[in-house]
């Protein structure tokens, strides 16, 4: 493995540490001027500032001139559903006639439409399709991504999706972190029998996912007319017993108590939270839950935006992710979510950078190894075609990435 020196960095901006940043700490970023980074064996070996450089370089060291640009940690997209069959553009006419996301799901479409297409595809076909998304994400500066199952909704098809996650992790430069989301919708085989479906997931599917070591986290879609709080609790507690950490799709459309449950179960993260109320926020703060906010979903569903500022004020670490999926956010562009973090959440650029790097890394239990540019961490970095992070928050619709370095390799 070659060593790399990145020199002439205009500004190196990064959060610091291994734990998520909260409250006023969320806005704390180190900003080093005229910096350089030395990478050895895929890890960050040294950081220089104010024009300093290493005295001597190994003969195989490649030197990159950053030409005074901004350098940040690689972006971490901590919430996606990137392995799926088909698309859902066919929902456009229904939506234009007034149908909502949940109306379409209740009528057997929505997620269930994607389930039909995902079940029809082979593992290889799904792998090839999602590999294309991974490539695009890398080009957009994302170096680690979380990927959920949830479009199989039976043993074989859930395992198929999770195996695709595993292969994406092994066969592409991206680090892919896998989450089991069998409780994403009630499949046609269990129509009207959500409790029986949850029992099936807990008794049959989860133990197999564990045995084959195909996921680290268990998630559940806790939502009106999907899974209620008690069903979600049962799912997540069974998973915790097997060693899965909890995530929860909470209060995306209705505040039915998902965020409160997240706090009670000390989930690693609660996601969406568009409709979360004060009770949910208090419970999350008490339980040490990270809020994974998904502003591009609010945008695509024409909804309001999660109360990010209130969460920061209450000491909840905020992460921002894309939620890439065919139904509620057909965009994998995390830079667009960054723009919305500024425009709609009114977060500071520094708070946003923490949200898409260190806090997102902590939301997938990776704060030890990624999410910041510090000696000893994995060398995942982005060189931007911009002088500062304000520019990344401000310009939208263009890819502002210049170069992506993943584990010390230049990959884009």
Q: Does 111 bind ligand NIG (CB under 6 A)?
A: yes
Q: Does 130 bind ligand NIG (CB under 6 A)?
A: no
Which residue's CB is nearer to ligand NIG, number 45 or number 222?
Answer: 222
User: For ligand NIG, which residue of 258, 326, 349, 408 counts as binding (CB under 6 A)?
Assistant: 326
How is residue 136 written in tokens? 């695009």
Q: Does 323 bind ligand NIG (CB under 6 A)?
A: yes
DSSP state of 325: B
d(C-alpha 42, C-alpha 45), whole Å? 9
Stretch that binds ligand NIG, among 35-43, 324-332, 348-356, 403-411 (CB under 6 A): 324-332
Kind of pairing between the strands at 75-77 and 70-73: unpaired
Which residue's CB is nearer to Fe ion, number 293 or number 358?
Answer: 293
Smallest CA-to-CA distance from 384 within 2, 3, 13 is with 13
How is residue 9 written in tokens? 């960095």
Smallest CA-to-CA distance from 366 within 269, 260, 274, 276 is with 269
CB of 105 to ligand NIG, least distance (A): 8
Q: Does 157 bind Fe ion (CB under 5 A)?
A: no
Q: Does 80 bind ligand NIG (CB under 6 A)?
A: no
How is residue 50 written in tokens? 């104010």
User: For ligand NIG, which residue of 13, 26, 114, 231 counts as binding (CB under 6 A)?
Assistant: 114
**# residues contacting Fe ion (CB under 5 A):** 1
Distinct helix (H) and strand (E) counts, the chain? 16, 16
User: For ligand NIG, which residue of 77, 157, 251, 252 counts as binding (CB under 6 A)?
Assistant: 252
Burial class (CB in 10 A: 0-12, 13-18, 19+), 335: buried
d(C-alpha 180, C-alpha 226), whole Å? 17
Q: In what order do the strands lie in the sheet with 75-77?
A: 75-77, 142-148, 175-183, 217-222, 245-250, 269-272, 290-293, 318-320
Q: Hunting for tokens 């990159």 — which residue is that? A: 64
d(C-alpha 229, C-alpha 301), whole Å? 23
- 322 within 8 A of 328, measured Cβ to Cβ: no
CB of 265 to Fe ion, least distance (A): 18
Which residue's CB is nearer to Fe ion, number 48 or number 324?
Answer: 324
- The interface with ligand NIG within residues 327-386 (CB under 6 A) comprises 327-328
Q: Does 81 bind ligand NIG (CB under 6 A)?
A: yes
Q: Hunting for tokens 């690693």 — which residue is that? A: 268
Stretch that binds ligand NIG, among 200-208, 281-289, 311-319, 322-330 (CB under 6 A): 322-330
CB of 67 to ligand NIG, least distance (A): 39
Q: Could you give the residue ranges of the DSSP H alpha helices within 121-181?
A: 123-139, 155-171
Stretch that binds ligand NIG, among 46-54, 138-146, 303-311, 326-334 (CB under 6 A): 326-334
Q: Does 223 bind Fe ion (CB under 5 A)?
A: no
Which residue's CB is nearer to ligand NIG, number 35 or number 111?
Answer: 111
CB of 159 to Fe ion, least distance (A): 20
Stretch that binds Fe ion, among 158-166, 196-204, 306-314, 321-329 (CB under 5 A): 321-329
- 218 within 8 A of 206, measured Cβ to Cβ: yes
Q: Where are the beta strands (DSSP E) in 41-80?
A: 43-48, 62-65, 70-73, 75-77
Count of beta carbons in the 10 Å neighbourhood of residue 409: 14
Count of beta carbons in the 10 Å neighbourhood of residue 306: 27
Count of beta carbons in the 10 Å neighbourhood of residue 189: 11
Q: Which does 297 bind (CB under 5 to 8 A by kind): ligand NIG, Fe ion, none?
A: ligand NIG
Site string for ligand NIG, 194-233 (x = CB under 6 A): ---------------------------x------------
Site string for Fe ion, 369-408 (x = CB under 5 A): ----------------------------------------
Q: Does 323 bind Fe ion (CB under 5 A)?
A: yes
Q: Which does 252 bind (CB under 5 to 8 A by kind): ligand NIG, Fe ion, none?
A: ligand NIG
Q: Does 72 bind ligand NIG (CB under 6 A)?
A: no
Query: Which residues would be at the binding site for ligand NIG (CB under 6 A)?
Result: 81, 110-111, 114, 221, 249, 252, 297, 323, 325-328
Task: Note the residues at the interface with Fe ion (CB under 5 A).
Answer: 323
């Amino acid at each position: 493995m070659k060593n790399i020196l990145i020199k002439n960095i205009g500004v190196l901006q990064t959060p610091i540490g291994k734990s998520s940043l909260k409250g006023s700490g969320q806005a704390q970023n180190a900003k080093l001027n005229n910096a350089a980074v030395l990478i050895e064996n895929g890890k960050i070996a040294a950081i220089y500032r104010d024009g300093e450089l290493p005295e001597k370089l190994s003969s195989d060291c490649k030197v990159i001139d950053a030409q005074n640009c901004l350098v940040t940690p690689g972006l971490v997209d901590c919430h996606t559903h990137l392995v799926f069959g088909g698309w859902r553009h066919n929902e456009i006419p229904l939506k234009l006639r007034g149908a909502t996301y949940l109306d379409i799901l209740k009528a057997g479409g929505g997620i269930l439409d994607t389930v039909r297409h995902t079940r029809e595809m082979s593992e290889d076909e799904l792998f090839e399709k999602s590999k294309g998304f991974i490539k695009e994400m890398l080009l957009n500066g994302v170096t680690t991504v979380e990927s959920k199952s949830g479009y199989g909704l039976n043993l074989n098809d859930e395992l198929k999706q999770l195996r695709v996650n595993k292969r994406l992790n092994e066969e592409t430069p991206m680090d892919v972190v896998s989450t089991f989301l069998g409780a994403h919708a009630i499949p046609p085989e269990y129509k009207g029998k959500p409790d029986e479906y949850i029992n099936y997931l807990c008794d049959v599917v989860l133990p197999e996912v564990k045995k084959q070591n195909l996921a680290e986290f268990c998630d559940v879609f806790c939502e009106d007319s999907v899974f209620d709080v008690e069903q979600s609790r049962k799912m997540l507690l069974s998973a915790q017993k097997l060693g899965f950490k909890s995530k929860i799709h909470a209060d995306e459309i209705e505040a039915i108590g998902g965020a409160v449950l997240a706090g009670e179960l000390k989930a690693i993260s609660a996601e969406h939270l568009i409709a979360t109320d004060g009770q949910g926020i208090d419970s999350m703060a008490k339980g040490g839950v990270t809020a994974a906010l998904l502003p591009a979903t609010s945008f695509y569903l024409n909804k309001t935006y999660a109360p990010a500022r209130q969460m920061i004020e209450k000491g909840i670490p905020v992460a921002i992710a894309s939620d890439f999926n065919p139904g509620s956010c057909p965009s994998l562009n995390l830079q667009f979510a960054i723009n919305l973090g500024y425009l709609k959440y009114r977060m500071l650029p520094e708070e946003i950078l923490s949200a898409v790097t260190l806090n997102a890394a902590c939301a997938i239990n990776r704060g030890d190894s990624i999410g910041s540019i510090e000696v000893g961490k994995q060398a995942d970095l982005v060189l931007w075609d911009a002088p500062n992070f304000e520019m990344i928050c401000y310009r939208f619709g263009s890819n502002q990435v210049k170069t992506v370095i993943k584990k010390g390799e230049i990959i884009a």
